[in-house]
Amino acid sequence: MAGDPKLVWNPDNVRDVAESVGISSLNEEAVRALSQEVEYRVGQVIVEAMRFMYAGKRTVLGTQDISQALKVLDVEPLYGYESTRPLRFGEASLGPGQPLFYIEDEEVDFEKLINAPLPKVPRDMSFTAHWLAVEGVQPSIPQNPTTAEARANELVPKGPGANPALAALAGNDNVSIKPTVKQIVSQELILFFDKIRKAILDDNLDPEAVLYRKSAFESVRSDPGLQQLVPYFIQFVAEKVTHCLDNLFVLQQMMELDLALIENPTLFVDPYVANIVPPIITCLLGRKIGRDGADNMKEQYQLRDFAASLIEKITKKYHKSNQELQARITRTCLKYFLDPGRTLSEHYGAIRGIRSSGGVPAIVTLVLPNLKAYEVILVKAQNDRQNDEPFRMLLGTIIHAITSITTEAKDTEMTNGTNGNAAEASQVEEYLGTVIGSRIVALGNHKLNMAILESREKQ
């Protein structure tokens, strides 16, 4: 019929199949209907197979795609056409202009096949689980790549069109593509991060600006969805502390931001504690914090006190997840305390840091035994009239640290301005030195004196 669509499937194939099953005669209408049905079913299989091909990010349709498509269509799959080796097609001629292609069968030597050893019995299927990373740290287990393998993977060219062979020939085999922040953090969080930075760095004394800063810190302290911004806040603090050591306002704001991060109960800050501490140590032990001048001295010591309080909070909250943190901070502060080349302000920060990180045991074991030798620095500072305020602050924090070793400093008995008796007072002065010892004796705290002398015996 002229109006019927042209068939793609050859009707002769339908007649051949019919004859093979015993149907010798088929009318033209049945042959045409069967051919159209075969075309539809083959097209349906190809469409489903192409979906599997696209899902696998491939551009070549394979036999595995056809098998998966037959399974989806609830058709028994064809066996024997899945092979890792390429198929070899042979060509035979049935006459002029009628080539026939077929798959060449591999010739097998039965003698070799029979005498070949049997393959190993495959293992039963099993499932197991392992931690790829624990709290941001990848454990060293056989399932995870080693450090060398990870470094090698970083050197492999990345990207949808990357070709390692061509890159090696071009000399760019060590190029690695790292995603930018915008590919990791949502636009909303990026906007929030920019607003927080702008708010806390605004030094305007206008009440509205002050309220804006307080609201920014409160948002960081209480919002639950800021986990992705934690490393960026920490990096921001480190950069500002490094480049703004002469700006007390910026340093104070950065310490406030660290405090807000630590106090947020929904943030998991444990893996980042080692990066939070260095800027705080800088504000605690820095040689020059803020600009010179008597007007800024009070704010400088307030900043050191604030940094010491942050150290105390961090060591108490994260000492279990960072076991060496407390010891490292205490060693750093002790190194500054025992260095005579440091300024009185640095020594002040060192004493505050030792007390904040190590508590009473650190004062008893690290500070008290060294006060006798430290008296040389105190005497020199006492004779220098230019260091009256730093000397007074340093002396006050040392005495305050010593009195913290006992909690009953108020329940004392005064005996002619001495701690119990003259022998006890002389022993305290001999152990702590005249400058510190005389002031401790003047407190009239017998329990404190006994605690100091007992600590000397335990050394």
pLDDT in tens, 68-120: 899 898 888 776 666 556 667 777 776 666 677 777 777 888 888 888 888 88
DSSP string, 38-89: HHHHHHHHHHHHHHHHHHTT-SS--HHHHHHHHHHTT-PPP-S---SSPP-E
In-domain check, residue 67: yes
pTM for this entry: 0.59
Q: Residue 263: which pLDDT band, with cuts at 50, 70 and 90?
A: very high
Query: What's the pLDDT at 84?
Result: 59
Closest CA relative to residue 449, chosen from 396, 412, 398, 395: 412
Average pLDDT over residues 268-297: 86
Q: Residue 180: which pLDDT band, with cuts at 50, 70 and 90?
A: very low
Q: Residue 168: which pLDDT band, with cuts at 50, 70 and 90?
A: very low
- 286, pLDDT greater than 60: yes
In-domain check, residue 414: no
Q: Residue 389: which pLDDT band, with cuts at 50, 70 and 90?
A: confident
Q: Can you give the residue range of the structural domain that contains 34?
A: 1-84
Antiparallel, parallel or unpaired: β 89-93 and 99-103: antiparallel
Query: What's the pLDDT at 3?
Result: 55
Higher pLDDT among residues 446 and 351, named by residue: 351
Identify whether the C-beta of residue 281 lies closer than 8 Å to the C-beta of residue 329: yes
In-domain check, residue 447: no
- 420, pLDDT greater than 60: no
Tokens 């307080």 belong to 214
Q: Residue 424: which pLDDT band, with cuts at 50, 70 and 90?
A: confident
Contacts of 240 (CB under 8 A, 6+ apart): 201, 250, 251, 253, 254
- 418, pLDDT greater than 80: no
- 334, pLDDT greater than 50: yes
Mean pLDDT of the chain: 81
Percentage with pLDDT > 70 across the chain: 82
In-domain check, residue 30: yes
What tokens does 406 get? 């006992």
The size of the chain, in residues, is 459
Closest CA relative to residue 256, chosen from 218, 300, 298, 294: 218
- Angstrom distance (rounded) from CA 114 to CA 282: 78
Helix (H) or strand (E) segment spanning residue 191: helix 187-200
| Residue 287 CB neighbours (<10 A) | 11
Which CATH number does the domain housing residue 66 bear? 1.10.20.10
Q: Among 69-83, 192-206, 321-335, whose mean pLDDT is lowest?
A: 69-83
Distances (CA, A) of 99 to 12, 17, 91, 102, 375: 16, 20, 7, 10, 107
In-domain check, residue 52: yes
Q: Residue 446: which pLDDT band, with cuts at 50, 70 and 90?
A: confident
In-domain check, residue 355: no
Identify whether the C-beta of residue 345 lies closer than 8 Å to the C-beta of residue 304: yes
- Angstrom distance (rounded) from CA 436 to CA 16: 114
Map residue 240 onto helix, strand or coil.
helix
- Angstrom distance (rounded) from CA 400 to CA 248: 25
Q: Which range has highest mean pLDDT (69-83, 254-268, 420-434)? A: 254-268
Query: What's the pLDDT at 18?
Result: 84
- Angstrom distance (rounded) from CA 171 to CA 175: 9
| Residue 306 CB neighbours (<10 A) | 19
In-domain check, residue 191: no
Map residue 156 onto helix, strand or coil.
coil
- Angstrom distance (rounded) from CA 111 to CA 116: 8
What tokens does 405 get? 């070793």
In-domain check, residue 310: no
Count of structural domains within the chain: 1
Identify whether the C-beta of residue 406 lies closer than 8 Å to the C-beta of residue 347: no
Closest CA relative to residue 353, chosen from 378, 369, 371, 334: 334
Higher pLDDT among residues 11 and 193, named by residue: 193
Q: Among 84-93, 299-308, 372-381, whose mean pLDDT is lowest?
A: 84-93
